Amino acid sequence: MARKYDSNKIVDYLVVAIATFLGYTIGGYFRSSLIGAVVGSVVGLYIASKYIR
């Protein structure tokens, strides 16, 4: 149970990291890293919450 939870948590962090990176890349495209970081964080948290459920 603990290993499965840790594994899911690692995958969750990985999804958040990928979403944040994508958001940061999008922000770089719009020449605003701040917007990219915000968008990446929001998208990452949304995907993470959806993945947990």
Q: For 10-36, what is each residue's pLDDT tens digit?
A: 777 787 787 777 766 766 666 666 666
Q: How far is CA 49 from CA 4, 21, 23, in A?
A: 17, 18, 17
What confidence score (pLDDT) does residue 3 get?
58
Whether 2 has a pLDDT exceeding 60, the answer reads no
**Is 50 exceeded by the pLDDT of residue 39?**
yes
The total number of structural domains that make up the chain: 1
Contact 5, 13 (CB under 8 A): no
Which residue segment(s) compose the domain that 44 sits in?
Answer: 2-52
Q: For residue 1, what pLDDT is reported?
A: 46
pLDDT band at 48 (very low <50, low <70, confident <90, very high): confident
pLDDT at 9 over 60: yes
